[in-house]
Amino acid sequence: MCIFCKIINNEIPSNIILENEEFMAFHDINPKAPIHVLAIPKTHVDSFNEVSPQTMEGMTKFMQDVAKEMGIDKSGYRVITNVGDNGGQEVKHLHFHIVGGAKLAWSHLSDADPMGKF
């Protein structure tokens, strides 16, 4: 069982921000911005490659509600999901990073190896 499934099952504590029958949002334990929340489906889905359009429909509204709850819906925020090893996915359970609370830079990609393609 993955770490996010354990959080859903209350086997691991988390700082939950918003939750309903299908989704859960909680603070990231290693924040990269003043506000850094993870939003996950309660049903295990490995990654964005496997998610159904129906799940994403509900997830979209849920993430908008999280942004509003955190007070960043008007000032702006970023939604990120990582897919696979090269995409930086560390936990094989679909999750979205919702980050905000400051003017966000995009500098973390500067260390990527473009493999001569750019």
36, 93, 95, 97: which one is catalytic? 95
Q: How far apart are CA 104 and CA 34, in angstroms?
A: 10
Phi first, then psi: what are they for 96, rounded to 5°?
A: -115, 130
Taking the alpha carbons at both ends of the chain, their separation in whole angstroms is 40
Active site residue 95: yes
- Indicate which residues carry an active-site annotation: 95
